[in-house]
Structure 1
Amino acid sequence: MQFLLTLRQHGITDKNVLAAMESLPRDAFLSGVFKARAHEDVPLPIACGQTISQPSVVALMTQMLEITPRCKVLEIGTGSGYQAAILSKLARRVYTVERHRPLARAATRVLQEFGLVNVVVIADDGSRGLPEQAPFDRILLTAAAEDPPAPLLAQLRVGGIMVLPVGQSDTVQTLIKVVKTESGLEYSELGEVRFVPLMEGVAADVE
């Protein structure tokens, strides 16, 4: 109950998002000593020098995507798989791309344990998107780019929504929402955040 209260205090009002967050225990996506801190609204370390985002940011980004049950969603930056799991509760299908193969393998295991069969985890260079599955109704980045990447914008369907952090990796970043319309792109700012930077290529296969 405290978990949901915290989310509501951060402006999360979408009942479907709240239900999805409540149904997936965050500790399942953490390991070691950090499992005990799963209820805290803070980012926490995971393998490969990455982090799992704080629940209020996961919920905000999910809410701003305005996902419907018919949506095909692309996520760039699988990490622990927590965000992808939340998305899977709301969308028809989720494709999530992770450049660290150990993270992709671990996320796949956890998602399978929850029986989330509508998620496909792919170990690849997320900065290029997933052109073979485009167009997407929604695109979410959990890594910060200096600008919305052109390849990803090209893979977004007209009428689609992209949510991502933008800004230099060593400064405060801004979470933005991009709506692709017939006449162009509409941008809105959602607040300050801090994410790992979006990297090109696939990382070396080390834990």
Structure 2
Amino acid sequence: MKAALSDREGFAAFLLRMRSLGLTDQRLMSAFEATPRMAFVNGNLGNVAYGEGMLPIECGEFMEGLDLQAQLIRALDLEPTHRVLEIGTGSGFTTAVMARLAGRVLSLERYRTLVELAQQRLQALKIENAFVKHADGRQGLAHDGPFDRIIVWSAFESMPRQYVDLLSSNGVMVAPIGPLEGQQVVARLAKIGSRFEREDMMPVRFLPLLEGVAAAL
């Protein structure tokens, strides 16, 4: 009962922070509420699961803070018909949230352990429109596209043309772009005809998107 109470209180605090940022999208907040964050974090981190800071997960990786995750997903403007490509599954939390908002989510992860854990969590929540694949996130996926929305949880040094080209007409991509060892900016790239409109959202520090799949984990 204590864990459930902590879950409710944590979500309530998250809602207040989102309102202070002007983010009050009811459909988005309902998707977060329906996705128990406690199920995606290590048990000893339950008391900070709904915080703003990054959380360590398996394979030496990290899950971004909840506030940043919410802002980036909001920038996608997801609709029930959208096909989404996610680069960097991590714990599978954002995969699950987006699956409640979109028609289909394909998530790529380089660590097999993270893939297996995310699949187990999605299955436990009975989410059937999200698919996690063990794959190299730097490689194009033309055979799986086009996608209406793309989101990347690692940084690119310059505009990632290999993914931008996978967007459908009027598609949107959200990704950190900038120096790989310094501060980047989250860019929202909207495809309009044959050109792209870029909107810079916020400064961040993300790890670079690594090439290949992990050999051991």
TM-score by structure 2 length? 0.91
Question: Is the aligned partner of 1:37 residue 2:25?
Answer: no
Cα distance in 1 for partners of 2:118, 2:199 equals 31
Percent identical among aligned pairs is: 38
Which runs of structure 1 show a deviation greater than 6 angstroms over 4 or more consecutive aligned residues? none
Structure with bigger gyration radius? 2
Larger RCO of the pair (alpha carbons < 8 Å, separation 6+) = 1
**Alignment partner of 2:159: what SS?**
coil
Question: Is the aligned partner of 1:131 residue 2:151?
Answer: no
Q: CA-to-partner distance for each residue in 1:54-77, whole Å, 9 max, x for gaps?
A: 111111111100111100000000
Equivalent residue runs for 1:45-194 within 5 Å:
45-194=56-205
Q: CA-to-partner distance for each residue in 1:111-153, whole Å, 9 max, x for gaps?
A: 1111110000000001124222100000000111112321111
Q: Is the 8 A contact 1:10 1:56 kept in 2?
A: no
Q: Is the 8 A contact 2:152 2:175 kept in 1?
A: yes
Aligned residues: 206
Compared CA separation, residues 169 and 110, structure 1 to 2 (3 A): same
Cα distance in 1 for partners of 2:183, 2:116 equals 30
- Where in structure 1 are there 5+ consecutive unaligned residues? none
Report which stretch shifted further, 137-146 or 35-44: 35-44
- CA displacement at 1:12 relative to structure 2: 1.7
Cα distance in 2 for partners of 1:114, 1:130 equals 27
Cα distance in 2 for partners of 1:142, 1:28 equals 20
Aligned with 2:34 (options 23, 38, 45): 23
Cα distance in 2 for partners of 1:113, 1:44 equals 21
Q: Which residue of 1 aligns with 2:3?
A: none
Cα distance in 2 for partners of 1:17, 1:92 equals 14
**Alignment partner of 2:200: what SS?**
strand
TM-score by structure 1 length? 0.95
- CA displacement at 1:35 relative to structure 2: 2.6
Cα distance in 2 for partners of 1:125, 1:35 equals 31
Cα distance in 2 for partners of 1:180, 1:26 equals 32
Report which stretch shifted further, 84-93 or 125-134: 125-134
Cα distance in 1 for partners of 2:36, 2:140 equals 28
Cα distance in 1 for partners of 2:21, 2:206 equals 18
Cα distance in 2 for partners of 1:166, 1:159 equals 21
Could you say what the CA RMSD is over the residues aligned between the two structures, in angstroms?
A: 1.2
- Where in structure 2 are there 5+ consecutive unaligned residues? 1-11
Report which stretch shifted further, 62-71 or 187-196: 187-196
**Alignment partner of 1:34: what SS?**
helix
- CA displacement at 1:15 relative to structure 2: 1.4
- CA displacement at 1:170 relative to structure 2: 2.1
Cα distance in 2 for partners of 1:144, 1:205 equals 23
Q: Which residue of 1 aligns with 2:13?
A: 2
